[in-house]
Amino acid sequence: TDLLSAEDIKKAVGAFSAAESFNYKKFFEMVGLKKKSPEDVKKVFHILDKDRSGFIEEDELKFVLKGFTPDGRDLSDKETKALLAAGDKDGDGKIGADEFATMVAES
């Protein structure tokens, strides 16, 4: 919440509370990430990279909404795979910081 407003986070996570409703483009826009500097987008990436591997793997993507608020739901397998496919530009099965920044910028 140092980077994004708590109200925006609540609204964005709430908008996708229904199963199979997650849309990363709309989510990044609603949560205010799209308007942030590349440095701030990287900070958010590091929050989502729970194991500090330098990548957001599929098992971390499943909990992406929880990365923004503990009340967030888990993404379904289908939503997780769609998010991974959207962000994984080099096909290595995970999303790096640059891929994440590109994904946010394209949303």
Give the CA dihedral 34, 39, 40, 45, nearest 10 degrees: 90
Helix (H, G, I), strand (E, B) or coil at 74: coil
Is 58 assigned to a binding site? Answer: no
Query: Rounded to the nearest 10 degrees, what angle do helices 77-87 and 97-106 cross at?
Result: 100
* 53 known ligand binder: yes
36: annotated binding-site residue? Answer: no
Q: Does 60 count as an annotated binding residue?
A: yes
- Angle (CA) 85-4-46 rounded to 5° is 50
Q: Is 99 annotated as a binding residue?
A: yes
- Numbered residues of the known binding site: 49, 51, 53, 55, 60, 88, 90, 92, 94, 99
- Numbered residues of the known binding site for Ca(2+): 49, 51, 53, 55, 60, 88, 90, 92, 94, 99
